[in-house]
Structure 1
Amino acid sequence: MNLTGPIDQEALQRKLADLRAEHRDLDDAITALAEQPSLNLIQIQRMKKRKLALKDQIAKIENLLIPDIIA
């Protein structure tokens, strides 16, 4: 993502939607794995770490899309 040039609002909106969908999918997958009798804790831990990284990316894009308001 090029932050030095003009921001492509549509591209950011698409990226944001993709990240949110992946975040939701990971949440569902983590829930499903946790309900299985043979827990794979390492896989769940990796998925949770990826989910946190997605959350950070979502927050960064949301900050780019929301204009700064000077009070």
Structure 2
Amino acid sequence: MGMVVVISLPLILFCLLLGFGCYFLGRARGRQDVRTNAQIYGVPAPPPGAANPFPSPPPSHSKPNISSNV
């Protein structure tokens, strides 16, 4: 035997209206957010008070040039 599932027409219309409302309100809010808070891609700025966030590498150990002493 099969089961009968009853879905009312007002529930279907309410779900469609709710879906369209959320879509249009979300799209408008997203466009407003892009205009007011533009995203900036790149290296972040160092925090205030940080003199050099990246320490310099240690000096390389190389042999002196002996041919210049000849």
**TM-score range for the pair, normalised by the shorter chain length:** 0.3 to 0.5
TM score, norm. by length of structure 2: 0.45
| Structure with bigger gyration radius | 2
TM score, norm. by length of structure 1: 0.44
More helix by share: 1
